[in-house]
Amino acid sequence: MGLIIFGTIWFWTLLSVVAILIIWFLEDAINYEKTYRDTGGGTKVTMTILAFLTLYFFFGSKEQFVQALYYIKDNPGTIILSIASYVVIGVIWSIVRWYFYLQGFKIHYIRKNGPTKNGISFRGIPKGADNKNRILTWMSYWPFSMFWTIINEPFRKVFRYIYSKIEGIYDKMAKSVFSDSISNEEE
């Protein structure tokens, strides 16, 4: 009998830590500052999942691994249909996630560079070829990516909107606090 058995507090704790790490790695791969260093986060996510499975195998239940292998052997049609469904959903999700990524990139670009009269040059926009690892990671690990996007995106939009409405208050407060320290040349 192992320490990490399905249903125990140790199992759920380990699974929670793994899920948080996966979401963190996926979210880190979206960092717009790293646009041309596309790691996608897939390697870290894969290593995290392999570490979880290894821990579960050695400190959990080897019998459940054997049962899973027997299930795969006894139900090849179900497994093939499940894999095909997973791939199709992953491809569809990657297209949706790419759209969200482009929207976020556009906001980040305008915030960093300011609005331009001529717009962004075609060379400046993200391209699928330059983001292959990121897109493949969204396809491969779509359940985690989808879960976090659905949870995170609405909150970001709400707080960005609120911030845009009260941003001037923060600037006025800073100016007031430092009014005696600011030279006339800097205003």
What pLDDT, on the 0 to 100 scale, is given for residue 36?
46
Question: Which of these, 179, 155, 140, 187, lies nearest to 43 by C-alpha position?
Answer: 140
Q: What is the pLDDT along the chain (187 residues), one digit of tens a residue?
A: 578 888 889 889 998 999 999 888 877 766 655 544 556 677 888 899 999 988 888 888 888 888 989 999 999 999 999 999 999 999 999 999 999 889 888 888 777 777 766 666 666 788 888 888 889 989 999 998 899 888 888 887 888 889 888 988 998 998 889 888 776 655 5
In angstroms, rounded to a whole number, what is the distance separating the alpha carbons of residues 65 and 56? 9
What pLDDT, on the 0 to 100 scale, is given for residue 121?
66
For the chain, the domains span 9-186
Do 26 and 137 contact (CB within 8 A), yes or no? Answer: yes
- Helices then strands, counting H and E runs in the chain, come out as 6, 0
Calculate Rg over the CA atoms of the chain.
Answer: 23
Which residue type is seen at 2? G
In angstroms, rounded to a whole number, what is the distance separating the alpha carbons of residues 138 and 158? 24
What pLDDT, on the 0 to 100 scale, is given for residue 13?
92
How many other CB atoms sit within 10 Å of the CB of residue 149? 22
